[in-house]
Structure 1
Amino acid sequence: MLGGLGLFAIGGYAPAELADVEQPFTVPLVARVLYGGITEELLLRWGLMTVLVWMAWRLLQRRKGTPQLVYIWFAIVVSALLFGAGHLPAAAAQVGELTADLAVFVVSANTVFGILFGFLFWRYGLEAAIIAHAFAHMVSHIVSIVVA
């Protein structure tokens, strides 16, 4: 719930060029929930994050014990950064050209959420990350309707 409120709130800090096109370029809620909530979590948390932890455990830890906390957090942060960077093409399509301010905003805002979803995946499983991601989109959407 807090993630959805945060998602709505950060929209107020978006660079002007993104805020100007936000309304006409609205992705349907079902697409945000299904693609964002399920596909991105499968690709980035279950896929990339798991592979990064496994590689560190296998190569650096020599398959001994459970993966060290530093490798887990490394995988969470790297997958979150790539999650943030993965949103740059959509932002560029919205505004036509990426500026430094826009790129920093898109990557950093999405990285924060990627860290949250990565933590949930690590501690509670893929379902928790999927539900949190989908729910964040739903809450943000509902709040934007109520506020507008």
Structure 2
Amino acid sequence: MSKPMAVDNAVLAESAGAPGQPAKWRLGGALWLLGMPGVLAVVWALLPPLKANEALLPLPLWAVVLLSGLQTAVLLALAVAVGVWLAPRVGLRAPVVSSWLVGQPIGPALRVQSLPGIVGGVVGAAWLWVLSQVAPAALQPSDPASAMPLVVKLLYGGITEELLVRWGVMTLLLWLGWRVVQRGQGQPGKGLVAGAVLLSALLFALGHLPAAQALAGALTAPVVVFVLVGNTAFGLLAGWLYARHGLEAAILAHVLAHLLSSPLL
């Protein structure tokens, strides 16, 4: 596992206006806005099933929808804040967004992100296709029209999930390991980076179990193994891209994995 990207002393000192680095509130606001279309897409996708079961809801439909959206928006804000505050300390970055916010050309940062992100997207799409061929029958929707819309997969899965899991959770895990093991000195070692990638990938996979239960009706052993193995594998890929190249590489890979695999599933 490669070390995170090199960071300069100004970033490690966490100065809000360090040369080449946007102020924390600007970066946080930009990343939160980047993830909000995914939140809105999920809320939009929930409307039909909620409407169909409106009589069973404990609150009026509008209140359930509003609270659902607010909950996810707040979780996104917390994850973004964690990443904005801790990522520079452990050498993790969002280079493209940061360059754009400080008025620097985004081309150099984008070029560094593009090839790894595209390769990761192709690998991810192939993995999703393989998973579709071996998925338990319980996880295959009887009505194709009930499948998650592609726009939700692209916006929420590809962008919002990366902000929540990689930018938020993985950054926090790496920072905690760095503080405990290395006393906050130097750059995190390869083992710490690998551990953060693995743990965040496992949490990413566990986060898919409720949706699997809703689709399958019960979390049988084949369903649990399939969900954990399938999502952990992609989480490892996305986590490595984030650690080695930056957040945008992981986002690009996640978006492309869904986009390229969609016609094959």
> Who is 1:96 aligned against?
217
Residue 17 (structure 1) aligns with: 138
Secondary structure of 2:188's counterpart equals coil
1:41 aligns with 2:154: no
SS of residue paired to 2:146:
coil
- Tell me if the contact between 2:205 and 2:227 (Cα under 8 Å) persists in the aligned partners: yes
Q: Which has the higher contact order (CA 8 A, sep 6+)?
A: 1
Could you list the runs of 5+ residues in structure 2 that have no partner in the other structure? Answer: 1-121
Q: Which residue of 1 aligns with 2:181?
A: 60
Partner of 1:26: 147
Deviations 1:103-145 (A, max 9, x none): 110111000000000000001100000010010000110223x
Which runs of structure 1 show a deviation greater than 4 angstroms over 4 or more consecutive aligned residues? none
**Cα deviation per residue 1:30-83 (whole Å; 9 max; x = unaligned)?**
100111011110011111111111111112101111001111110100000011
Which residue in the other structure is 1:75 paired with?
196
Distance 1:141 1:61 in 2: 43
Normalized per residue, the structure richer in helix is 1
Q: Residue 264 of structure 2 corresponds to which residue in structure 1?
A: 143
Partner of 1:3: 124
Task: Tell me how far apart the structure 1 counterparts of residues 263 and 243 of structure 2 sit (CA, whole Å).
Answer: 28
Instruction: Report the TM-score, using the length of structure 1 for normalisation.
Output: 0.92
Q: CA RMSD in A?
A: 1.3
Tell me how far 1:22 sits from its aligned partner.
Answer: 7.1
Matched pairs, number: 144
Distance 1:19 1:77 in 2: 27
Distance in 1, Cα, partners of 2:169 & 2:162: 10
Indicate if the aligned counterparts of 2:204 and 2:232 stay in contact, CA closer than 8 A.
yes
Distance 1:26 1:20, change over 3 A: closer
Cα deviation, 1:2-47, whole Å, max 9, x if unaligned, reads: 2112201211111121135473531111100111011110011111
**Alignment TM-score, normalising by the size of structure 2:** 0.52
- In the other structure, the counterpart of 2:79 is none
Higher Rg = 2
Matching residue's letter, 2:172: V
